[in-house]
Amino acid sequence: MTKTMPEARQAAQDDLSQAIALALRHLQDTQSPDGSWHGDYGGPVFLLPTLIAATHIIGEPFDRETERDFVRYFRHEQNPDGGWPLHTGDESYVYATALCYVAQRLLGVPADDPDLQRGQAWLLDHGGAADVPPWGKFLLALLNLYDYDGVMPVPPELWLLPDGLPAHPSRFWCHSRMVYLPMSYLYGIRAQAPLTPVLRAIRGEIFCEPFEGFDFRATQTRCAPGDIYVPLSRLYRVMNRLLNGYEAVAGKSLRDRANAFVLDQVRQEDENTNTICIGPINKVLNMLCWHFAEPGGPRVAAHRAQLPEYLWKGAHGTHMQGYNSSQLWDTAFAVQAICATGRVGEVQSMADGAHDYIERNQVLEDTPNRALYYRDPSKGGWPFSNRKHGWPISDCTAEGLKSAIALQPHVEGPIGAERLHDAADLILGWQNGDGGWPTYERARTLPWMEALNPSFVFADIMVDHSYVECTSACLQALVSYREGYADTVRAARIEQAIERGRAFLLKRQRADGSWIGSWGICFTYGTWFAISGLRAAGLAADSASIRRAAAFLIAHQLPDGGWGETIESCKRGAYTSCPDGQVVMTSWAVLSLLQSDEADSAAVQSGVRFLQDRQKGDGSWPDETIAGVFNRTCAITYDNYRKIFGLWALAAAEARLRA
């Protein structure tokens, strides 16, 4: 007997409702005791070798079992061609191959191990250590596997220049600044591990030429062609010549003063972050600074004790993560997904736990003497991971604020209004001159400073530009804050900020209707943020901009009903489909279309069907392609995204049916 139309609709709604209940249960089952969702934040392969090099240099390696698990990870990441990728699943890079090879040798894997031999063959085929990009050469120099003559100069004296100069290091994007900081100290003192038999042996394994007598100076600006995404600019080459000239005549007393200045900055970063540091690289380099400045001292011990914070034991071995965690970020999205189901009362303890986490991890104070240490205000902000880490971020603050507000009616003892005001004020203060929002700090210099990017491998690392995602998140947060909490003065400021933010988003829309994302892959991510921001800022579902965006998404739907993009989208700046739909990207597309006048279209229905079909019996979704990215070239795993965005998209679809 065939079902009547209303019956069929009812059955479909029941199915959807069942899928949501399962996804909610799965979310509940995977919540950590602290109320957050804690998942793997791995992906970049070049990080673990840095950590292994550093623990080797300070003479405090990990226990044997962990070390074996590091090796297991390296084996898993090795490509069939013998090399290692920049991030899981990528092509082989000279950068990663040299570092992963060396790290395994330091872990005790013998040179005649067949996998290492394949790695070595690939490396030597592609230029060997002399073609490693600059950050890799720097690490090799620390290990005494490279001569400092072959390292592009990073003199600490640059910190002593007038800080009004556009190229003063204090004006760099905070991640580059905080890497450059310890690097300049280590470079300034030419820090180097003592030569041991294993290091001497490695010297003979990673070069195409004999180490002794090699012309290191000539290799400073060399980089394997396959590793290059951003070629070194002419400006940098000129500056590099000047810096080499300076190094030849640098006087001791100025160097000592500069080193002392830098070390004090390093100390403050350690104290501000409870020795976690802003990211994985400066964490390891700061530790090395103390190893050379105060060997065996308490600061080295404090750093060493915090290292495991960055490790993740996964199914294929233990690796280093891109941040100390993504807990706040994931938890804020989880809260919004839960609220979208309209069933908070059914999962009260989960909501209470998540609220606790968000409450306990808002930053409540500015950092001490912040102007001396080039820090902006922090009070009221939310970090990406936790309060201990302490660096607030614009969109993390925005998602923190949105989720705190969403939970206000549902929890006992919600976050007080004063703290919400602080968050809103911080967000208002972060807006850039172009109307968009940066990641951590208002832009401190001009976009052309990207010409001083020395990395070859990553793009957009010198300036905290305005981003579509950050702008959208901040707009949405300001709108929801204004509705319930803003006084008239703040409301007027918010009105203006929204006006400018909205204009920024509209200006960034591409001719094809899409927005490119910078921190997720890629157009589905950027477009979801932009549509959500514009709708919050008052644009109608049937406005020309949103219609064009919806048409773009519909044009890229795959035959299986889903959406899926690869990191090539980010690298090429052009939509690059996966063969099959992916749960996370499909969720972003569905969430976008539901805010457009295509909300009831067949495209949405088949997208939702795709999500339901992919869901497993326990409410989870299977592992799939990496969804996160940074600096255009490096993918990063957001382990919790499937369960959060899968649930959110289903919940939003159900709300639409009910409406």
Secondary structure (H, E, C), 520-572? ECCHHHHHHHHHHHHHHCCCCCCCHHHHHHHHHHHHCCCCCCCEEECCHHHHH
Q: Is 396 in the site for ligand LAN (CB under 6 A)?
A: yes
- Which region, judged by CB under 6 A, interacts with ligand LAN, from 366-374, 429-437, 572-580, 628-636? 628-636
User: Minimum distance from CB of 477 to ligand LAN (Å)?
Assistant: 13
- Which one of 290, 384, 528, 645 is in contact with ligand LAN (CB under 6 A)? 384
Cβ of 218: how many Cβ atoms within 10 Å?
A: 11
Cβ of 29: how many Cβ atoms within 10 Å?
A: 12
Q: Is 389 in the site for ligand LAN (CB under 6 A)?
A: no
What ranges in 92-157 are assigned the alpha helix state H? 94-106, 114-125, 134-142
Judge whether 613 counts as a catalytic residue.
no
Q: Are 581 and 564 spatial neighbours (Cβ–Cβ below 8 Å)?
A: yes
User: Minimum distance from CB of 606 to ligand LAN (Å)?
Assistant: 29
User: Minimum distance from CB of 245 to ligand LAN (Å)?
Assistant: 28
Residue closer to ligand LAN (CB basis): 405 or 636: 636
CA distance 338 to 27: 9
- Which one of 40, 330, 359, 395 is in contact with ligand LAN (CB under 6 A)? 395
Closest CA to 128 of 149, 98, 102, 100: 98
- Which one of 71, 277, 589, 636 is in contact with ligand LAN (CB under 6 A)? 636
State the number of binding residues for ligand LAN (CB under 6 A).
20
Residue closer to ligand LAN (CB basis): 120 or 286: 286
Residue closer to ligand LAN (CB basis): 333 or 610: 333
String marking each residue 318-357 x if it binds ligand LAN according to CB under 6 A? ----xx-----x----------------------------
- Which region, judged by CB under 6 A, interacts with ligand LAN, from 199-207, 528-536, 562-570, 629-637? 629-637
- Which one of 102, 288, 393, 608 is in contact with ligand LAN (CB under 6 A)? 393
End-to-end CA distance of the chain: 29
User: Minimum distance from CB of 170 to ligand LAN (Å)?
Assistant: 17
Q: Is 641 in the site for ligand LAN (CB under 6 A)?
A: no
Calculate the dihedral angle through the C-alpha atoms of 123, 129, 131, 134, rounding to the nearest 10 degrees. 130
- Which one of 38, 171, 175, 508 is in contact with ligand LAN (CB under 6 A)? 175
User: Minimum distance from CB of 311 to ligand LAN (Å)?
Assistant: 15
Burial of 143 from C-beta contacts in 10 A (0-12 / 13-18 / 19+): buried
What ranges in 408-467 are assigned the alpha helix state H? 417-430
Residue corresponding to tokens 């959406």: 563
User: Minimum distance from CB of 321 to ligand LAN (Å)?
Assistant: 9
Q: Which residues, 265 to 284, sit near ligand LAN by CB under 6 A?
A: 279-281
Residue closer to ligand LAN (CB basis): 28 or 274: 274
Q: Is 179 in the site for ligand LAN (CB under 6 A)?
A: yes
CA distance 191 to 581: 49
Residue closer to ligand LAN (CB basis): 179 or 351: 179
Return the residue nearest ligand LAN (CB atom): 630
311: helix, coil or strand?
strand
User: Minimum distance from CB of 284 to ligand LAN (Å)?
Assistant: 11
Residue closer to ligand LAN (CB basis): 205 or 399: 399
Tokens describing residue 548: 């064009």
Q: Are 468 and 517 spatial neighbours (Cβ–Cβ below 8 Å)?
A: yes
Tokens describing residue 389: 């880490």
CA distance 57 to 375: 31
Alpha carbon 29 to chain centroid distance?
26
User: Minimum distance from CB of 547 to ligand LAN (Å)?
Assistant: 26
String marking each residue 518-557 x if it binds ligand LAN according to CB under 6 A? -x--------------------------------------
Q: Which residues, 427 to 486, sit near ligand LAN by CB under 6 A?
A: 439, 458, 461, 469
Closest CA to 177 of 149, 158, 151: 158
Tokens describing residue 167: 């190229």
Residue closer to ligand LAN (CB basis): 73 or 630: 630
Residue closer to ligand LAN (CB basis): 128 or 454: 454
Q: Which residues, 21 to 50, sit near ligand LAN by CB under 6 A?
A: none
Residue closer to ligand LAN (CB basis): 70 or 323: 323
Q: Is 291 in the site for ligand LAN (CB under 6 A)?
A: no
Helices 348-360 and 327-340: crossing angle, nearest 10°? Answer: 140
Report the relative pairing of strands 563-565 and 311-314 from DSSP bridges: unpaired
User: Minimum distance from CB of 289 to ligand LAN (Å)?
Assistant: 16
What ranges in 227-279 are assigned the alpha helix state H? 234-249, 252-272
CA distance 122 to 108: 20
Residue closer to ligand LAN (CB basis): 19 or 96: 96
Q: Are 11 and 332 spatial neighbours (Cβ–Cβ below 8 Å)?
A: no
User: Minimum distance from CB of 200 to ligand LAN (Å)?
Assistant: 30
- Which region, judged by CB under 6 A, interacts with ligand LAN, from 236-244, 392-400, 500-508, 610-618? 392-400
Q: Which residues, 194 to 233, sit near ligand LAN by CB under 6 A?
A: none
Closest CA to 36 of 334, 384, 383, 279: 334
Residue closer to ligand LAN (CB basis): 71 or 396: 396
Contacts of residue 26, defined as CB under 8 A and 6 or more positions apart, other chains included, come to 618, 619, 620, 643
CA distance 186 to 575: 41
Report the relative pairing of strands 628-630 and 634-636 from DSSP bridges: antiparallel
User: Minimum distance from CB of 327 to ligand LAN (Å)?
Assistant: 11
Tokens describing residue 164: 């009004």
What ranges in 78-113 are assigned the alpha helix state H? 94-106
Catalytic residue among 40, 330, 376, 395: 395
Q: For 44, which DSSP code?
A: B
**Where does this chain bind ligand LAN (CB under 6 A)?**
175, 179, 279-281, 322-323, 329, 384, 393, 395-396, 439, 458, 461, 469, 519, 630-631, 636
| Residues taking part in catalysis | 395
